[in-house]
Amino acid sequence: MTEINRQWLINGNPAGRGVKITDFKRFDKKLVNLKKDELRIKVEHLEFTPSLKGQMENQLDYAAPTKQGQVMRGRGIGEVIESKDPKIKIGSKVKAYLGWQDFATLKSNQVQVVDNDKFLLAHLGPLGSSGMTAYFGFLKAGKPKDGNTVLISGAAGAVGTMVGQIAKIKGCYVVGTAGTEEKCDWLVNSANIDAAINYKTGNLTESISRNCPDGANIIFDNVGGEFLDSALDLKNLAIGARVVLCGAISRYETFPHPPGPTNYFNLILRRANMQGILSPDYASEFPQAVEDIKGWLDNGKFIYREDIQNGFKNIPSTFLRLFSGQNKGKQLIKL
């Protein structure tokens, strides 16, 4: 076995600006012998989420602080190639925060063993953090009712795609926004939502109004910024609406952060509720969510797509795809 572990280290803090390739530095480190209960894991696939940028900036208080010089964080799936824990066998597939590197050395209690079946990569998508965020954010905070109108920003992304399809399963009328005509076409023709808006063309407030003539009952926001202001326009907000705040990728490259939505007073006029969500709050209910989503996948009620790039050298550039809108579905890389 090779003794060298290629790694990408944090080399900059991108607060208030876009992430750059130079925010990461390549480093080769010699592997050391395992200790009791440790595992050596060959990293096979990594996932990417916009929140990794917030972790680099130490702006997310649910994640441990980072510092320059440490291996860049990243959740992934890999194969156990050495084990000092008899309960976990060599050849097992595991999911964990493996980091941007060829090999991860972790305690056995830091990993989750997953079945090497057709759902393997789905553990980084619909059965992983993206899926749990969509499932619990929409069902718990959105509180859908049959016939509700649902408006989703970033609807072609990993979370947005799932929210749209769960909403359809629950009998809702679904409108999504995306940044290209290709993504809009995919949402309507493949993901089977009812309407899609290219937010880069035309007046966004008026486009939402045309597609949600009675206002949105549920707004699931992954973007913030202009979208949130447009969604909270009085004519776009139904009485008793539920606004679910999942992400705000529009503010990731600005500092100081822009003011909050100018239309927030309309929440009062429409007796609406706005709630932020984090999926770990529902960790005790994850098994039920995984069972439900597997069922939807199996019976064809639910589809998802993965954007898989390749190669260790392309890890940083693959992360940057999230912020330029290049990714189509869940962004992954195969090492």
Residue 328 confidence class, pLDDT cut points 50, 70, 90: confident
Rounded Cα gap, residues 237 and 250, in angstroms: 21
Residue 51 confidence class, pLDDT cut points 50, 70, 90: confident
102-106, 210-214, 218-222, 250-254: range with lowest mean pLDDT: 250-254
Q: CATH 3.90.180.10 in the chain: give the residue spans.
A: 4-125+305-334
Tell me which architecture the domain covering 4-125+305-334 has in CATH.
Answer: Alpha-Beta Complex (3.90)
pTM above 0.85, yes or no: yes
Who has greater pLDDT, 101 or 261? 101
**Structural class in CATH, domain 129-280:** alpha beta
pLDDT in the model for residue 47: 96
pLDDT in the model for residue 15: 83
DSSP 195: E
DSSP 180: S
Residue 253 confidence class, pLDDT cut points 50, 70, 90: low
Who has greater pLDDT, 55 or 177? 177
Who has greater pLDDT, 59 or 269? 269
pLDDT surpasses 70 at 309: yes
Q: How many CB atoms lie within 10 A of CB 134?
A: 31
Who has greater pLDDT, 144 or 17? 144
Residue with tokens 């995306």: 178
Residue 64 confidence class, pLDDT cut points 50, 70, 90: confident
Q: Per the structure block, which two tokens stand in for 264?
A: 């927030």
Mean pLDDT of the chain: 92
pLDDT in the model for residue 251: 66
pLDDT in the model for residue 302: 84
Q: CATH 3.40.50.720 in the chain: give the residue spans.
A: 129-280
SS3 (DSSP) at 299: coil
pLDDT in the model for residue 2: 63
Span 168-183, average pLDDT: 95
pLDDT surpasses 90 at 219: yes
Phi-psi label, residue 225: left if phi above 0, alpha if psi -120 to 50, beta otherwise = left
pLDDT in the model for residue 75: 95
Helix axes 158-169, 129-136, angle to 10 degrees: 40
Rounded Cα gap, residues 245 and 322, in angstroms: 19
Q: Per the structure block, which two tokens stand in for 318?
A: 């693959």
Q: CB of 305 within 8 A of CB of 330?
A: yes
SS3 labels along 148-179: CEEEECCCCCHHHHHHHHHHHHCCCEEEEEEC
Q: CB of 41 within 8 A of CB of 335?
A: no
39-49 per-position pLDDT tens digit: 999 999 999 98
pLDDT in the model for residue 18: 86
Residue 135 backbone dihedrals phi, psi, to 5 degrees: -60, -55
* Cβ neighbours of residue 287 closer than 8 Å, sequence gap 6 or more: none
- For residue 232, what are the β-bridge partners? none
